[in-house]
């Protein structure tokens, strides 16, 4: 991950609703959630939620799957792992391989 992409991810997470969405999707795990259910769970209008989901998607923090007319969203664990790896790439005196077990423990393959 390069700095520009990391900054986009942090910008996406700097808004309260988007941070709540990501945390909700992480809790939902591999089942993910329908866009409408996310809006209801967080008491956010559907058009506002759609915009927030698009921002998170562009930032590589969520992924989606179309299911007929509905769209199911998931936390993008690969994107989260990439962001955490970017933050920790210089850890341990420049030996990021020492931090790999920490990253693997923090971000599951849901």
Average pLDDT over residues 74-97: 83
Distance CA 23, CA 83 (A): 15
Helix, strand, coil share of the chain (percent; to 5): 65, 15, 20
**Per-residue DSSP letter, 60:** T
Domains identified in the chain and CATH numbers: 3-106 (1.10.10.10)
**How many percent of the chain have pLDDT more than 90?**
71
Residue 110 has pLDDT above 70, yes or no: no
Global pTM?
0.86
Quick one: pLDDT at residue 88? 78
Phi, psi of 71 (to 5 degrees): -125, 125
CA distances from 25 to 20, 53, 83, 88 (A): 9, 11, 17, 23
pLDDT tens digits, residue range 55-84? Answer: 999 999 999 999 999 999 999 999 998 898
């Amino acid at each position: 991950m390069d700095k520009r992409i990391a900054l986009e991810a942090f910008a996406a997470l700097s808004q309260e609703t988007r941070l709540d969405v990501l945390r909700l999707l992480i809790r939902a795990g591999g089942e993910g959630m329908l866009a409408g259910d996310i809006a209801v769970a967080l008491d956010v209008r559907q058009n506002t939620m759609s915009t927030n989901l698009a921002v998170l998607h562009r930032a590589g923090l969520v992924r989606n799957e179309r299911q007929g007319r509905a769209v199911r969203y998931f936390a993008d664990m690969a994107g989260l792992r990439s962001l955490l790896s970017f933050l920790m790439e210089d850890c341990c005196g420049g030996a990021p391989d020492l931090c790999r077990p920490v990253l693997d423990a923090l971000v599951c393959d849901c």
